[in-house]
Structure 1
Amino acid sequence: MSTTLPEHERPGAGGNPRAQQAGGPGAGGSGAGPGGTASGPGDTAGYRLGPLYLTLPLANIALYMIWIGVGSFLIPLQVAQITGENDTDALTTASTTGAILATIGNPLFGLLSDRTRSRWGRRAPWVLLCAGVGCLALVGQAKASSIAMLGFTWGMVQLFMNGYMAASTAAMPDRVPVRKYGTFSALIGLGIPLATIIASLIIGGVPGEKFGLSGTIGGFDGKFMGEKGYYLIAVIVFASAVIFVLVSPDKPNKDVPREKFELKEFLSGFWVSPKEHPDFFWAFASRFGVMVGYWIVSVYTMFILIEYIEIPGEEIGPAMGYQLIINALATVAASMVIGPLVDRIGRIKPFVLICGVGSAASLAIPMLSPTEGGMEVFQIVNGIFFGTYMAVDLALMTKVLPSSGEPGKDLGIVNIAAAGPQIAAPTIAGWIVDAGGYEAIFPIAAVVSLGGAFLVLKVRAVR
């Protein structure tokens, strides 16, 4: 989640002159994107804001159903079925292609949508196309019978679903007034914890005894821990895309003049110079480090519970579901508390530092207590500090966003620092386990998270 900023610190305010250039994201006045299209916040006339309160968070929840449901549950299970064991090398191989294509997909489709002209607007065609192709790739992934095929289909899912992410989240600078940025940042930020809760309940279930009940809550007797899980998530994602396009339609722009396409200019749009935009560079690096530190443990939760904590295979679904749910609930609770606090204080960097130190400290818990109970305490404490970070994350990035008049591309680049670590995490974690065993994941994640948090001190435009 994110939070609103004091008026003088919002994008477009006097303290951030770069955000005023070219009328880009954060500019207070009218801006023009490619071909003269309005692209800055404040150019939101003609849109109905109300439907976005539903459709934008729904689109993000559906997206994270893939990252959590497939990445944390279904792929590790599929790797074990294909190889006959919990093969971390195979999981790494399957994830590497996805990591590369995910990095390409976000800014590529963001920039393509910036330049699109159609009767349905510039974002809607890419939301539907990317969701449709991505869901077909999910169906193909469900049938994958080799690690090579699993890697290829997962790569296609990552490429197109990152395109879906870029096109849908660009609705924020397209349509949302700056005064509403805090509200919508918070709604978008609900994607991770809510998707975690939904995916955990549907795919894994939760032990009823944790809540004084008998049996398993959700889980559906393991019905969705396999092919049917892929099909269900594909349906949810495509339905959310259709709802997004129909309930909160884009404005037609087919009559807007189109800039002449130049390949050199197109390719150069993906590069943000650290020399010209140092605050963006350091904020991006900080975000990347914090996210990598979080996700290299999170995406390996299943293997950690099986191999490190030694939970029996027949109990792993509900056990993992409970672990992820309590982490998500702690994340939401912390974000709800920290968000208003940041509004009153008007400071961001101290909370990023608190997150880094707290996250690093929490990673000592499973090292000192390698038990299921120790992991549960870790999930709660780690969730609190991750929620602290989510409360300020998007606010920080919005303040340092380079203004190019192409918000889809700019947000696509920003999203690499959030989506990239989630996709690359299995690869990184696999290397760590190969080199030092599961015991090495926790201290390395702590160092990475702490280092990422301290990089925020290099950002000068944000307090």
Structure 2
Amino acid sequence: MSASPSPALNGVPAQDEPATPVGIRFIALYALGQLGLWAGLLTPIVVTLSVKVGAIDPEGKAASLGLILSVGAFLSMAITPIWGNLSDRTTSRFGRRRPWLAGGALAGAAGLLIMAVAQNVPTILLGWCVTQAGYNAAQAALNAIIPDHVPEQQRGRVSGILGPMSNIGILVGTFLTTMVVGSTSLMFLLPGVFTFAAIGLLITFLPDQPADRGQLGPFRPLDLLRSLWVNPFAHRDFGWAFAGRFLIFTGNAFKLTFGFYVITDRLGYSPAEAVALVFTATLVFTAASLLTATFGGWLSDRTGRRKVFVLLASLIMGAGLLTLGFTTSYAQYLIGSAILGLGTGTYLAVDMALVVRVLPNPDNAAKDLGVFQIANSLPQSLAPLIAPLFLTIGGGDQNYPAAFTAALVFAVLGALTVIPIRKVR
């Protein structure tokens, strides 16, 4: 039986909790859509922005890259909850999620095109902002598919399958860049084409209903600002889950932002060699995450427990980050990638199931998950800004051991935030 509907919030009518289990085709297409989105959004962070900025501004590459990623992440933080709120209220005959998936994929591809032809840092920044705005519109709709369609008893397993998609997306994106390493423009564009194709397949088969116009309350411009806020004191479990994701992703953002430069600056490889080495490290990371993601999600569903899995996975991620920061060889870099992958697989699988369980209102899922997306996006802004505090310890700007020790501290603090959560075991 379906659970009782929740009261309406922000003018969005309450709906029953999904009760019918989702099938293999639904899960496969949903996973493909997530994979495609991450390929388009994360490949620039991991590889192509570093290559492009390093070629245009070799002397100030770290500062320029930090500026671009910070502005883009702040934009993502501000705009994703708004997209989610609008998606919850969309009455299009095509549904309330599909228009945002299609439009977001198109806008994201347009941003990649701008970066592909850019000849200076400001133009790259413009392209990255367009990419973030587009792909985060799609992400807001994608995140809401779990509470829209997946019943509680399947969420750990489904999240276990979806969790590694960000890692596989990076893997696919970096593989595509290795095929066209001689053309920076194609290194941006190929992942965008893949993203559009993957989301297009999901849109074709996604069961999606529009919001009921007759049940929607009045919409006011002030509601857009309210999209950015969930009271952490009124919804304490959600607040603790938000804090945990923010801290974990702050630590992980050190790796996303500076992993490429660890290979070039600390290990001494050229940028062209580093592209292939990043792909190999991503392959190791993804294989390790796959080992734990599905099993961790299944075991979490089976035991009915989420918190212990999130806590242990966060600590393992911290150990992987520390290994990467102290690496003195590429083999050690691969070991660190594997450890980080083992923790990340279980973390992403179980933490999403935990978050969906503590949403303030599942009927306003896209908006609330959009607020939660801030915990993913804000670290991408903060890490490049605070990392120089550690990178410059002892002189110079390449103290990666100090920076990644700080990443470990963030991961440990993130692990501890799961303890006060009460609604989930």
Structure 2 CA distance for aligned equivalents of residues 55 and 288 of structure 1: 28
Deviation readout 1:55-85 (Å, 9 max, x if unpaired):
2111111111123311111000010111134
Counterpart position of 1:302: 260
Structure 2 CA distance for aligned equivalents of residues 338 and 405 of structure 1: 27
Contact conserved, 2:37 with 2:135, CA < 8 A, in 1?
A: yes
Counterpart position of 1:139: 113
The SS at the match of 1:121 is coil
Counterpart position of 1:353: 311
Counterpart position of 1:196: 170
**Following TM superposition, by how much is the alpha carbon of 1:292 offset from its aligned partner in structure 2, in angstroms?**
1.4
**Following TM superposition, by how much is the alpha carbon of 1:50 offset from its aligned partner in structure 2, in angstroms?**
5.9
- Given candidates 32, 49, 61, the residue that maps to 2:35 is 61
Q: Does 1:235 align with 2:209?
A: no
* Contiguous gaps of at least 5 residues in structure 2: none
Q: 1:28 to 1:423 in 2, by over 3 A?
A: farther
Counterpart position of 1:220: 179
Structure 1 CA distance for aligned equivalents of residues 328 and 160 of structure 2: 34
**Following TM superposition, by how much is the alpha carbon of 1:221 offset from its aligned partner in structure 2, in angstroms?**
5.8
Aligned AA for 1:109?
W
Q: 1:83 to 1:280 in 2, by over 3 A?
A: same
**Following TM superposition, by how much is the alpha carbon of 1:154 offset from its aligned partner in structure 2, in angstroms?**
0.5
Deviation readout 1:363-419 (Å, 9 max, x if unpaired):
443455422121111111121122231232112212211116311101211222234
Contact conserved, 2:289 with 2:345, CA < 8 A, in 1?
A: yes
Counterpart position of 1:104: 78
- Given candidates 42, 50, 73, the residue that maps to 2:18 is 42
Structure 2 CA distance for aligned equivalents of residues 48 and 390 of structure 1: 20
Structure 1 CA distance for aligned equivalents of residues 173 and 140 of structure 2: 22
- Indicate the percent of aligned positions where both proteins have the same amino acid: 27
Structure 2 CA distance for aligned equivalents of residues 404 and 266 of structure 1: 18
Structure 2 CA distance for aligned equivalents of residues 342 and 106 of structure 1: 29
Structure 1 CA distance for aligned equivalents of residues 378 and 324 of structure 2: 25
Contact conserved, 1:99 with 1:420, CA < 8 A, in 2?
A: yes
Structure 1 CA distance for aligned equivalents of residues 12 and 125 of structure 2: 41
Deviation readout 1:296-352 (Å, 9 max, x if unpaired):
113311111000121234422221211111011111112233233333433322222
Contact conserved, 1:88 with 1:430, CA < 8 A, in 2?
A: no
Structure 2 CA distance for aligned equivalents of residues 234 and 40 of structure 1: 36
Contact conserved, 1:29 with 1:42, CA < 8 A, in 2?
A: no
Structure 2 CA distance for aligned equivalents of residues 305 and 42 of structure 1: 46
Counterpart position of 2:355: 397
Q: 1:130 to 1:221 in 2, by over 3 A?
A: closer
Structure 2 CA distance for aligned equivalents of residues 175 and 256 of structure 1: 22
**Following TM superposition, by how much is the alpha carbon of 1:127 offset from its aligned partner in structure 2, in angstroms?**
1.5
Counterpart position of 1:91: 65
Deviation readout 1:139-194 (Å, 9 max, x if unpaired):
11111111111112111211221111001221222233334323332232131121
Query: Larger deviation: 112-121 or 181-190?
Result: 181-190
- Given candidates 433, 437, 440, the residue that maps to 2:402 is 440
State how 1:23-42 maps to structure 2 within 5 Å: 28-31=3-6, 37=13, 39-42=15-18
Counterpart position of 1:321: 279
- Given candidates 150, 154, 161, the residue that maps to 1:187 is 161
**Following TM superposition, by how much is the alpha carbon of 1:462 offset from its aligned partner in structure 2, in angstroms?**
2.4
The SS at the match of 1:300 is helix
Structure 2 CA distance for aligned equivalents of residues 376 and 408 of structure 1: 36
The SS at the match of 1:299 is helix
Q: 1:106 to 1:40 in 2, by over 3 A?
A: farther
Structure 2 CA distance for aligned equivalents of residues 172 and 344 of structure 1: 19
Q: 1:444 to 1:172 in 2, by over 3 A?
A: same
Deviation readout 1:235-268 (Å, 9 max, x if unpaired):
1222223222222242355754432112334433
**Following TM superposition, by how much is the alpha carbon of 1:107 offset from its aligned partner in structure 2, in angstroms?**
0.7
The SS at the match of 1:458 is coil
Counterpart position of 1:3: none
The SS at the match of 1:222 is coil
State how 1:261-410 maps to structure 2 within 5 Å: 261-366=219-324, 368-403=326-361, 405-410=363-368
Counterpart position of 1:245: 203
Counterpart position of 1:418: 376
User: Please, what TM-score do these two structures have when normalized by structure 1?
Assistant: 0.83
Deviation readout 1:173-225 (Å, 9 max, x if unpaired):
2233334323332232131121122123222xxxxxxxxxxxxxxx33624x6
Say what the alpha-carbon RMSD is for the aligned residues.
2.6
The SS at the match of 2:217 is coil
Structure 2 CA distance for aligned equivalents of residues 49 and 351 of structure 1: 25
Structure 2 CA distance for aligned equivalents of residues 295 and 157 of structure 1: 18
**Following TM superposition, by how much is the alpha carbon of 1:361 offset from its aligned partner in structure 2, in angstroms?**
3.0
Contact conserved, 1:99 with 1:158, CA < 8 A, in 2?
A: yes
Contact conserved, 2:12 with 2:364, CA < 8 A, in 1?
A: no
**Following TM superposition, by how much is the alpha carbon of 1:232 offset from its aligned partner in structure 2, in angstroms?**
1.1
**Following TM superposition, by how much is the alpha carbon of 1:453 offset from its aligned partner in structure 2, in angstroms?**
1.0
The SS at the match of 2:363 is coil
Structure 2 CA distance for aligned equivalents of residues 365 and 93 of structure 1: 26
Structure 2 CA distance for aligned equivalents of residues 344 and 255 of structure 1: 39
Counterpart position of 2:44: 70
Q: 1:461 to 1:257 in 2, by over 3 A?
A: closer
Query: Larger deviation: 383-392 or 372-381?
Result: 383-392
The SS at the match of 2:418 is helix
Q: 1:383 to 1:37 in 2, by over 3 A?
A: same
* Contiguous gaps of at least 5 residues in structure 1: 1-11, 13-26, 204-218
Query: Larger deviation: 298-307 or 249-258?
Result: 249-258
Aligned AA for 1:414?
F
Structure 2 CA distance for aligned equivalents of residues 444 and 199 of structure 1: 28
Counterpart position of 1:164: 138
- Given candidates 87, 101, 104, the residue that maps to 1:113 is 87
Counterpart position of 1:212: none
The SS at the match of 1:120 is coil
